[in-house]
Amino acid sequence: MKSSACSRPYWFLHYGLLAFYVIFALFPLYWLLKVSVTPNDLLYSEGIRLWPSRPSLAHYTFVLAHSDFPLFFKNSVIVSGSTAVFVTLVAALSGYAMSRFDFRGKMWLVGLMLVTQMFPLVMLVAPIFKLFSPLGLTNSLTGLVVVYTAFNVPFATFLMQSFFDGIPKDLEEAAMIDGASRFRAFRQIILPLTLPGVAATLGFVFTAAWSELLFALMLVSKAGASTFPVGLLSFVSKFSVDFGQMMAAGILALIPACLFFLLIQRYLVQGLTAGAVKG
């Protein structure tokens, strides 16, 4: 009884700190939502309030019906989804090769991939623009997919390699002894066990491409091929910023990322339990 009474303060402290962290982490999102439903005439006149006295969806209506945001939104979905799929396919195959095979120049290849992650992206904008211009890849979604794929493959490869390293080689060797080819053993035995890695790679690459601004701003100059991070700048004029519309667009931009992680969540759980055996 005494120990239970002694542990009660620690229980309150533990969950109190967790609650404080959750509130601290979610408060910016709450404020984003609050500003997005605040009419312009109340944005500054009411001062600091936890919720507007007269909430309105006018900003959402304007963003969806009277701006180019739906086009930016569609472009971002195409670019981010394509990049996530391409990078994950390449990273799964290259990560498996890096984990299972020893070949000449492997360490040099690993070092080269690490070096590519050290350069500031702003240094590469001008060379990439000069390279893409003759190929017609500027002002196009294809060019953005190519750039995002190239820059995300090295990290995604290391991420997938770490998952393959955690799977014993005996599993695929036993499958190959039973007559399966290496690719069949990889597809039917190894890959299902790395579903957490595949889902993590998909999520990481999708969010990285979804929120990227530098290349989307420098390589694309026409509105028809702009993504939503660039589109958010359209709410900033020379002398003012329409915070309500910008916050509404930001809330809408969160929806695909949330839905994407909801879709891959079951694969994360499935991958975590795929290799479980009875003890």
CA distances from 275 to 95, 171, 194, 197, 272 (A): 19, 11, 9, 13, 7
Rounded CA gap, 55 and 248, in Å?
A: 13
What is the predicted pLDDT for the residue at 90?
93
Assigned token pair, 171: 């599993």
Residue among 90, 226, 82, 102 nearest 148 (CA) = 82
Task: Tell me how crowded residue 128 is: count the other CB atoms within 10 A of its CB.
Answer: 20
What is the predicted pLDDT for the residue at 267?
66
Residues lower than pLDDT 70 in the chain: 1-7, 267-279
What is the predicted pLDDT for the residue at 146?
93
Do 209 and 253 contact (CB within 8 A), yes or no? no
Quote helix, strand, coil % in the chain, to nearest 5.
75, 0, 25
What is the predicted pLDDT for the residue at 275?
43
Q: What pLDDT digit, counting tens, does each position of 126-164 carry?
A: 889 899 888 888 888 999 999 999 999 998 998 888 888
